[in-house]
Structure 1
Amino acid sequence: MTRSGLVSILGRPNVGKSTLLNQIVGTKVSITASTPHTTRQAIRGVVTENGVQVIFIDTPGLHRAKTSLGGRLNETARAASDGVDVVVAMVEATSAIGPGDRLAISTMLQHARGEHAAIPLVLVNKMDKVAREKVAQQLLNVSDAVAEVATAMGQPQLIDVVEYFPVSARTGEGAAALLAYLQNLMPEGPYLFPEDEVSDVPEAMWIAELVREQLVRKTKQELPHSIHCRVTEFAWPHVTVEILVERDSQKGMVIGKGGQLLKDVGIAARRQLPEGCYLELRVSVEPGWQKRNDALDRFGY
């Protein structure tokens, strides 16, 4: 009998959720960057081995939303944990437990109660960045935070249910032990994805995300948040990606002097695509799209 189940990964922006997903799956299934809110959709990565399939769900970072887009990203993260078998809250070993971490813990605990409760698990990431004593202290700190949040929710019985793991998403330290632990928690049942599948991201969406990843890495200040990418033409090997910004002034910033930035983005994205792909990039303006529900609906947020 095979076993399979779902594991959602929650956390504030930039805590390392996407990096961990890529590390465990063993290939890149979610884009990464140092800029907050790089992940905007619930991305699924699949690990199938030894008769067990674990479907990991990478989620947008939980935060105090300032735009309609931000609110929808929070909703996506919360909804991704509905009906899962394990819900994970990730914090950093390098930072104090802050409001964003407590929001992730609270969301985790909310999904760990009721008739179809998920198993709650806290990860302390970036253990490679600090001494082991600091990791141990942070495990105690986040345990205290879990106790405080559970008590405030009127759910003190959840305190002793939560398990804790230190990991390094960057180096992979602790990832094998984490995967083995999660595999043991998966319920009996058929595989939810084909055995050789590692992600559910459609090819067109993946190409658009690769372009956005490079733009996020190469632009600064508020611009990364104002960028949305979508494939407007897909007739392999020709692919056209439209890059949408919110203001005319941002259009020139994306293109760069003499078109150099846009050229660099295309080269970097193309390196991650099959040989022979012809990638065309176009830049357009969609005024104030982050705050417009009609635009967010069209873009699939």
Structure 2
Amino acid sequence: MTAEASGDSDGREVEFRSGFACFVGRPNAGKSTLTNAVVGSKIAIASSKPQTTRHAIRGIVHRPGAQLVLIDTPGLHKPRTLLGERLNDLVRDTWTEVDIVGVCLPADQKIGPGDTYLVGEIAALPKKPTLVAIATKSDLVSPERMAQHLLSISALEQKLGVSWAHIIPVSATENDQVDVLADTLVELLPPGPPLYPDGDVTDEPEETLVAELIREAALEGVRDELPHSITVTIEEMGLREGRSKDKPLLDIYASMVVERDSQKGIMIGHRGSRLREVGAAARRQIEALLGTPVYLDLRVKVLKDWQRDAKYLNRLGF
């Protein structure tokens, strides 16, 4: 395929731009929230729990004359399980496939060893992507603190031998400078044809999005090691037969997978109260996403130490 051309306001032909960018950063740096804000639609689940993201999720940003494919990746971290090792491998693989890497450096935290390590790893890539530094969570700090943070980000250039194409403060929750960031990423894209049909916001299968929304609901209110132990599988999903077109009902049979019987008890709750809460919250999000009434049958099952078992990880799609 060859790059297409479109006209600008002066009637000149402008080459179409397209390509890939990813947001990287330590766990809980605001990557998923920022991805959703830039795409303008909820495609990635967000939680205050570190290491919420477990897949490379693609969001598609459409602009006149350009298309940006934005990949949300897990946070790079010190792995304690085989799952953690595989997620880190996924992050590094993504770096080698994108045109632009947006490094998320939360303004409410000082630049730490984890940030330095992350940027250093990107700097060591044989084929270096264009780098954009993103000072996330700008709404949480004073102008003085932001000024110090931006200076610290600039100092990484000399310290690590990198070059920032841009340094942009952003608040995804307040929608502050999100458009500036999106426009900047689009401007940095190489010439190329559209990669997805106009109007698509993600290429994720609906089953994957539904499973993630259930996991997001399950993460609310749980603590300690339990968030890392939860994953969700969709056993069956389809429109109920015999319903009229104006009254559809989507049947979803799903399982929340945990690692121990004690965790199963926590997720079910007293007389099933916790399971009902998770199911109701997830159903609302799924109906909002798909625009169809949903019947959700939610169970909890145990796969002992699944995060450390290659057979279970393969079966679960990791």
Common topology (TM > 0.5): yes
1:59 paired to 2:73: yes
Among 266, 283, 292, which residue is 1:270 paired with? 283
3-state SS, counterpart of residue 220 of structure 2: helix
Q: Which of the residues 199, 212, 217 maps onto 1:214?
A: 217
Equivalent residue number for residue 260 of structure 1: 273
Greater shift, 102-111 or 90-99, is seen at: 102-111
Q: How far apart, in 1, do the equivalents of 2:32 and 2:151 lie?
A: 25
Deviation readout 1:141-185 (Å, 9 max, x if unpaired): 12223432x2xxxxx3x34x5431111121121111111111111
Find runs of 4+ consecutive structure 1 residues off by over 3 angstroms.
none
Counterpart residue number, 1:107: 121
Alpha-carbon distance between aligned partners in 2 of 1:83 and 1:207, rounded to the nearest angstrom = 27
Match of 1:118 among 122, 126, 129: 129
Gaps of 5+ in 2: 6-15, 240-249
Establish whether residue 128 from structure 1 lines up as the match of residue 139 from structure 2: yes
Partner of 1:178: 181
* 1:137 matches 2:151: no
Amino acid across the alignment from 1:235: G
1:3 corresponds, among 13, 17, 26, to 17
Equivalenced residues, count: 290
Return 95-104 or 72-81, whichever deviates more: 95-104
Q: Tell me if structure 2 keeps the 8 A contact 1:22–1:28.
A: yes
Rounded to whole Å, the distance in 2 between the matches of 1:13 and 1:77 is 12
The one-letter code sitting in structure 1 at the alignment partner of 2:99 is D
Matches within 5 A, 1:68-83: 68-83=82-97
User: 1:190-205 maps to which residues of 2 (within 5 A)?
Assistant: 190-205=193-208
Aligned-residue CA RMSD (Å): 1.3
Structure 1 residue 294: Cα displacement = 1.4
**Alpha-carbon separation, structure 2, partners of 1:61 and 1:206:** 19
Q: Contact conserved, 1:62 with 1:103, CA < 8 A, in 2? A: no
* Most deviating of 49-58 and 77-86: 77-86
Report SS of the residue matched to 2:155: helix
Asked if the contact 1:88–1:108 (Cα under 8 Å) also holds between the matched residues in 2, the reply is no
SS in 2 for 1:239: strand
Deviation per CA, 1:119-139, whole angstroms, max 9, x where unpaired? Answer: 111111111111112111101
Shift of 1:59: 0.4
Q: What is aligned with 1:248?
A: 261
Contact 1:124 1:139 in 2 (8 A): yes
1:153 match: none
2:232 paired residue among 221, 229, 233: 229
* 3-state SS, counterpart of residue 92 of structure 1: coil
* Displacement of 1:187: 1.6
**Residue in 2 aligned with 1:47?**
61
**Worse-matched range after superposition: 98-107 or 58-67:** 98-107
Structure 1 residue aligned with 2:172? 169
Per the alignment, in what secondary structure is the counterpart of residue 265 of structure 2? helix
Per-residue CA deviations over 1:197-245 (Å, capped at 9, x if unaligned) read 0011110011111110011113221111101101011122111111111
Percent of matched pairs sharing the same residue: 41
Deviations 1:230-277 (CA, angstroms, capped at 9, x unpaired): 101112211111111101111110001110111011111111223321
Shift in Å, 1:295: 1.1
User: What corresponds to 1:33 in structure 2?
Assistant: 47
Q: Deviations over 1:26-77 (max 9, x none)?
A: 1101001100111000011111121210111100011111111111111111
Letter in 1 for 2:223: K
